[in-house]
Structures are given as structure tokens and as C-alpha cells.
Chains A and B, each alone.
Chain A
Amino acid sequence: MLSEEIKREIEAEMHHYPRKQGVCIEALKIVQRHRAWVSDESLRELAEFLEMTPAELDSVATFYNKIFRRPVGRNVIFICDSVSCWIMGYDRVREGVTKLLGIRLGETSADGRFTLLPNVCLGACDHAPVLMINDDTHLDVEPAKMESLLEEYK
């Protein structure tokens, strides 16, 4: 069951759109904020609330990069792999993180602390290489300082 709080948050956004379906991306984000990811069960509950079919809602959920249809760790690392970061040392950053965490891109650490995902250009190319951890943008990332950077995220 969607909690009253989730429903209230979705309803607060609904008036921004003339049709109920318009809010579905925002609604997926709200559900994900509360539950970390969008499970099949969450998807069915939300589809019913928005008067959509689960398949219809899933076609939207699976299209957008930031909607997680699989479980993620407590913290999600998004490494920019686009061109400016690639020139400035994306490979070294990726190798550094994967070695530290013992996971590859797309995987979650065994302790559930980190999920590592590639991401397209984060729009801070004058400070490449760049990555985001959750909502925080980290600029001019140096592989040598990665360990202390990750320390902040428990």
C-alpha cells in the first residue's frame, strides 16, 4: 500500500499537470525517495493510484535513467563517462573506485553501502573528471583522494 505521506506528496504535484498521467515521472521519483527503488509491487500500487496499467507505467519507469527498477545500495555513485571526463581521466577514476569497492559498474557492494553506476555528462566539464554521490557533485576528482571522499558516505 502506498502510504498516506506518499499519496499526499504526489497529489501536491498533480495540479501542475492537466492530466493525471502527467505526474507519473514525479510520482515514480517520490516513491523511490521513500523506498530507495521501484519494485514490481511499488509499480503496481502506483499504477493503480494513477489509474494507469502497470505495463504503461513500467514503459515509462524503464525509459528514464534515474528510476531504479532494481535494488540499489544506501549510496549511489554516478561516474560521468562522457567525452570531457573521458579525456581528463575517467578511466583512472573508474579503476580507482572499482578497486576500492570491489565492484564493477552496475553492481552494489556486499554490505549494501554503495551502488556504482555510469552516467552521461554531468554538465561540469570545466572541472572534469566529475562524479556525483547521491545528490552531491564532486569536481576535479582525483583517484588518490577517492578513499577519503567515500568515507563521508556511510
Chain B
Amino acid sequence: MAGGYASLRRVVREMTPQAVTALIKDSNLKGRGGAGFPTGMKWSFVPMGDDATHPKYLIANADEMEPGTFKDRLLLEGDPHQLIEGMIVGAYAIQADVTYIFLRWAYRLAAERLQRAIAEAYANNYLGRNICGSDFSLEMYLHVSAGRYMCGEETGLLNALEGKRATPRAKPPFPAVSGLWGKPTVVNNVETLCNVPHIVNHGAEWFKSLSHTGEGGTKIYGVSGKVKRPGAWELPLGTTVRELLEEHAGGVRDGLKFRGVIPGGASTEFLLEQHLDVKMDFESVQKAGSRLGTGTMIVMDDKTCPVGLVLNLERFFAQESCGWCTPCREGLPWTAKVLQAIENGDGQPIDMQRLALHTKLLGPGHTFCALAPGAMEPLQSALNYFRDDFERHIRERRCPWK
């Protein structure tokens, strides 16, 4: 494998941990798991120096479970060593002692390949004691989850890894200071970590120059739904919705019309035809009223019922709520029931107000973690953009798509 682990050899021989973190900060790499938090800044929160608490941990979040998201699977199956290299470099930057890959159970092929790649990395002294002859030592383990959406939430993941229910933890303290078993911990998404070796090899300026906008790098975008060529592509960050939809995915299938898109996994707000020229980067999508999220979009065509689609999403969130806090545990099933009633033709005009009220009661600031606020994002935008379709269900006492 040409150039494999070059970045690792370089950092352990030539760079201080602080210099690695500074480099990632300079590159402007933002988390690719959905929240878009600056990676270098996250690393810089970890206590460093001789009196820092050990062991410290770095975790690759490979629990890809956001509906409509299938990008990390490609990286895990296609090049497990790229991830492992990025993890070791990240672990060096924060001086971690142990790293875990937290993998969802459904990715069986990825599990096999990762297990083999970890063994190869140990055999070549990229893991274990005194890596590449340096003072740096690191262990890496694969944890295959038993399945639950909550495991993707940073602190839920920590509890799951400790062998507990994946309920979220209160912040602060933040995981960088008190995470796994109370020790300093960084959790990064797979795609985020896969960028790290390339930034070390080619520099921060090179990385920044890859994107169409001020936000650095590339993004693995995906398109699913009734388009001609569903798929995933690595493209400059800031590629427009239109280019993804029309050029790469080939547009919606013949005989169908485009109605909208959920741009970044189930917990993002709809974008419409008027947003097609929005650049898919963190800032631009936010300005358009949604979020980049995971960058894998779900296309809604005119033969797909918006109420049915949102019902599907809210049933998912209701099922996957961990039950830890009341607004989420009680509010999401209630939301799903109201939507089911509307879809069945049993809706009442007041249900529109009930749904709108829930988008407030379950919104940011009312819940322990981001699951319920995320669940409200597609709903509130659907109430806004597809209000006529909801009202028609209620008025005609049926689903017009059935």
C-alpha cells in the first residue's frame, strides 16, 4: 500500500502532539458525523502534560445509524487502514493510551476487515508498544455494538462502551475532561478521522484548497430515494444540492417530479426546489434553514406522501428514544400517533396546532440530548413547506397518495 502510515511515521518522529493538534486546527477540519464541531478544537480540550490523567481514550464513532446515511460504510469496508492511521495520529495528538472503534452490528464486512487490519497494524508496529521506535504506545480494540440509535450520541456511546444502557450524560463535564470511565476522551466520526492522515501528509493549506468554500476539505455526499443513480461520492465541500442531485444522481426518475430533499440524514430540515443552488457546507445549509448533517440526502418525489414520510421518521425517533427524559419519551410517540391519525384519515384541524406545539416542546433546551430536537427538524419544516398536503389529508379524511 503506497504511502500507508506515512503520516504516522512523520508525527511520531517529527512532530509534538501539540503541533499535530495545531495543524488540524489550521486545516479547519470540522466533524463529519453531523454536528460539524471543529476537530482540532475538540482535541485541544484534552488535558495535556505530565500531570494529565491517564489512561486517555480516543474513539472512532462508526455507529452510522442516522437513517439515510451510508457514507462511513464505504470508508470502513473500502480502506480500514486509512481510519486506523487517522485514529493513531489523533491518539498521538491527545496522547491517548487506548482507542476503540465503536461499530454497529449490521456492518459485518466492515467488522471482518477492521479486525484483520488492526492485527496487521499491530504486526507492523503501528500499534502496541513504542510505535515505529518512538516513546508512544497505543492499544486499539474493536467494539461491535448490539444496536440502538442512541449509541451514536457521544455520551450515549460512552455508556454503551462501558457496558451500560446508552443513555446520554449531562454536560459539563465534557468527555474531553471526563469521558470513558471518567477519563479524558475524544469521540470522532469515521469520515473525520479518515481526513487526518492526508492533512498531515499534504498540509492545512492543501486541505483548505480542496473545498469550494471557506470550509476546508472534501465530503462524502450521498443521494437516496427515487433518483436514477443513487450513490455516494467524495466531492469538494460546498458542492451544490443541484450538482449532487442532477449530475451525480442523474435527477429524479422519469415520470416523477422533485418535491424536496432532506439534506443530511433523518434529523435535518427539508430543502425545496428554491434551495437547489445552496452549497452543501455547514454554513450555507444552515443559512438555508437546515443542516449539512451527515451530507447524505434523501430525495422526496411527487408520488411520495410527505405526511407518510414524516410519520416514518417520527416512528423511528419514537422507537429509538432511550426514555431517559420525559419530553422525548412521551412527546415522540404522541407526535407519531397524531401523524398516524392524519395519515389514516382520522386527523382533526387542531392536530396541526398539536404538531406545531410539539416542535417547540421537544425543541432545543427542553431535552437531555439532541435526539428529540433532531426529530423535530424534519417535522417543523414539513409543517411549513407541505402544510397544504397535511391539511388535505385532514379535509378529505384520507391519504391522497393511496
Given A65-B147, A120-B149: A86 in contact with B225 (beta carbons within 8 A): no
Find residues 105-145 in chain A having any chain B CB closer than 8 Å to their own CB: 119-128, 132, 135-137
Contact between B162 and A21, CB atoms less than 8 A apart: yes
Chain A CB within 10 Å, residue with most, of B64, B141, B144, B312: B312
Contact between B225 and A121, CB atoms less than 8 A apart: no
Contact between A120 and B316, CB atoms less than 8 A apart: yes
Q: Does A149 contact B (CB under 8 A)?
A: no
Contact between B163 and A86, CB atoms less than 8 A apart: no
A125 partner, pick from B161, B162, B222, B300, beta carbons under 8 A: B222
Which A residue's beta carbon lies closest to that of B320?
A: A120
What's the interface size class on A, roughly? Answer: 35 or more
Which residues of chain B are near A29, meaning CB under 8 Å? 144, 146
Given A123-B107, A132-B106, A137-B108: A83 in contact with B143 (beta carbons within 8 A): no
Contact mask for chain B residues 79-112; partner A; CB cutoff 8 A; 1 contact, 0 none: 0000000000000000000001000111111000
Q: Does A87 contact B (CB under 8 A)?
A: yes
Least CB distance from A46 to B in Å reads 12
Contact between B165 and A84, CB atoms less than 8 A apart: no
Q: Does A22 contact B (CB under 8 A)?
A: yes
**Which stretch, B198-206, B226-234, B276-284, touches the partner chain A?**
B226-234
Given A87-B225, A87-B304: A26 in contact with B316 (beta carbons within 8 A): no
B69 partner, pick from A123, A136, A137, beta carbons under 8 A: A123
Contact between B104 and A126, CB atoms less than 8 A apart: no
Q: Does A150 contact B (CB under 8 A)?
A: no
Q: Does B309 contact A (CB under 8 A)?
A: yes
Number of interface residues of B (CB under 8 A): 57
Least CB distance from A70 to B in Å reads 15
Q: Does B319 contact A (CB under 8 A)?
A: yes
Find residues 130-167 in chain B having any chain A CB closer than 8 Å to their own CB: 141, 143-149, 160-166
Number of A-B contacts (CB under 8 A): 136
Q: Does B223 contact A (CB under 8 A)?
A: yes
Which B residue's beta carbon lies closest to that of A13?
A: B141
Which B residue's beta carbon lies closest to that of A118?
A: B319
Which residues of chain A are near B41, meaning CB under 8 Å? none
Find residues 147-190 in chain B having any chain A CB closer than 8 Å to their own CB: 147-149, 160-166, 181
Which residues of chain A are near B141, meaning CB under 8 Å? 16
Least CB distance from B164 to A in Å reads 6
Least CB distance from A98 to B in Å reads 18
Q: Does B235 contact A (CB under 8 A)?
A: no
Which A residue's beta carbon lies closest to that of B222?
A: A126
Contact between A63 and B148, CB atoms less than 8 A apart: yes
Q: Does A24 contact B (CB under 8 A)?
A: yes
Is chain A's interface secondary structure helix, strand, loop, or mixed overall? mixed
Q: Does A19 contact B (CB under 8 A)?
A: yes
Which A residue's beta carbon lies closest to that of B319?
A: A120
Q: Does B275 contact A (CB under 8 A)?
A: no
Contact between A121 and B163, CB atoms less than 8 A apart: no
User: In the complex, what distance in Å separates the CA atom of A66 from the CA atom of B145?
Assistant: 9
Contact mask for chain B residues 113-128; partner A; CB cutoff 8 A; 1 contact, 0 none: 0000000000000000
Contact between B67 and A120, CB atoms less than 8 A apart: yes
Contact mask for chain A residues 71-104; partner B; CB cutoff 8 A; 1 contact, 0 none: 0000000100111101110000000000000000
Which residues of chain B are near A127, meaning CB under 8 Å? 230
Contact between A124 and B70, CB atoms less than 8 A apart: yes
Q: Does A47 contact B (CB under 8 A)?
A: no
Which residues of chain A are near B222, meaning CB under 8 Å? 125-126
Q: Does B375 contact A (CB under 8 A)?
A: no
Contact between A22 and B70, CB atoms less than 8 A apart: no
Which residues on B are within 8 Å of A, measured CB to CB?
55, 64-70, 72-73, 100, 104-109, 141, 143-149, 160-166, 181, 222-226, 230-232, 262, 266, 296, 298-301, 304, 308-309, 312-313, 316, 319-320, 322
- 19 A-B pairs besides A19-B162, A87-B300, A136-B108 with CB distance below 8 A are A16-B141, A18-B55, A21-B162, A24-B163, A66-B105, A82-B68, A83-B68, A83-B313, A84-B298, A120-B67, A120-B149, A120-B320, A121-B65, A121-B68, A121-B316, A123-B107, A125-B68, A128-B224, A135-B108
Of the A-B pairs whose beta carbons lie under 8 Å apart in the complex, a sample of 15, sorted by A's number, is: A16-B100, A25-B145, A60-B163, A66-B146, A81-B316, A82-B316, A83-B68, A87-B309, A120-B67, A120-B320, A122-B106, A125-B230, A126-B222, A126-B232, A135-B108
